[in-house]
Amino acid sequence: MIRTLIRASALLAFAAFASAAPAQDGPQKLDTIQLTAGMHLIKAELAQTPEQREIGLMFRKAMGANEGMLFAFERPGQQCFWMKNTLIPLAVAFVADDGSIVNIDAMKPQTLDSHCSTKEVRFVLEMNEGWFGKHGIKAGFKLQGTPFSK
């Protein structure tokens, strides 16, 4: 009787844990914010929890021309990104608290190549491959929007 109760309790605990852990079978869709890069508007999904940042743009098959994802971290640090389970080529900008782009890198889909900030940053903006170059945006350019301090 006691073994049955212990086994049943263990199964209930496991079921509760398993249902709390989300299954990732497709792209996540997050709330968006608007950023500006000069005269260009960016509709950026905001990834601000560890789980949201871990999933990022995985499993996306396409992304709109001026859409992206802004990763917001609690404190500045060297941020490194890779493209596991990411299906589209992306460009990544590592962004300081004031919106200044520290460095930009191109990332190939479905690789584990590491792309890191050259300085400590709290923000990382992923856009479609070539977006920054097409719009003349380089390191030192300043993005505008709610997350960035003046």
d(CA 33, CA 149): 15
Domain-embedded: residue 12: no
Half-sphere exposure of 81 (CA within 13 A, CB side): 32
Q: What is the CATH number of the domain that holds 69?
A: 2.60.120.1140
pLDDT at 11 over 50: no
Give residue 24's pLDDT: 59
Nearest to 147 by CA among 119, 125, 128: 125
Q: Where residue 19 falls among pLDDT bands split at 50, 70, 90? A: very low
pLDDT digits (tens, 9 = 90+) for 73-111: 999 999 999 999 999 999 999 999 999 999 999 999 999
Domain-embedded: residue 148: no
Give residue 13's pLDDT: 38
Domain-embedded: residue 75: yes
Domain-embedded: residue 8: no
Position of tokens 């199964």?
Answer: 11
Domain-embedded: residue 51: yes
Give residue 26's pLDDT: 81
Residue 32 domain boundaries: 28-134
Domain-embedded: residue 39: yes
pLDDT digits (tens, 9 = 90+) for 120-150: 999 999 999 999 999 999 999 999 999 997 6
Half-sphere exposure of 100 (CA within 13 A, CB side): 8
Q: Where residue 112 falls among pLDDT bands split at 50, 70, 90? A: very high
Domain-embedded: residue 58: yes
Cβ neighbors of 98 (< 8 A, separation 6 or more) are 142, 148, 149, 150
SS3 for 94?
Answer: strand
Number of domains observed in the structure of the chain = 1
d(CA 94, CA 130): 15
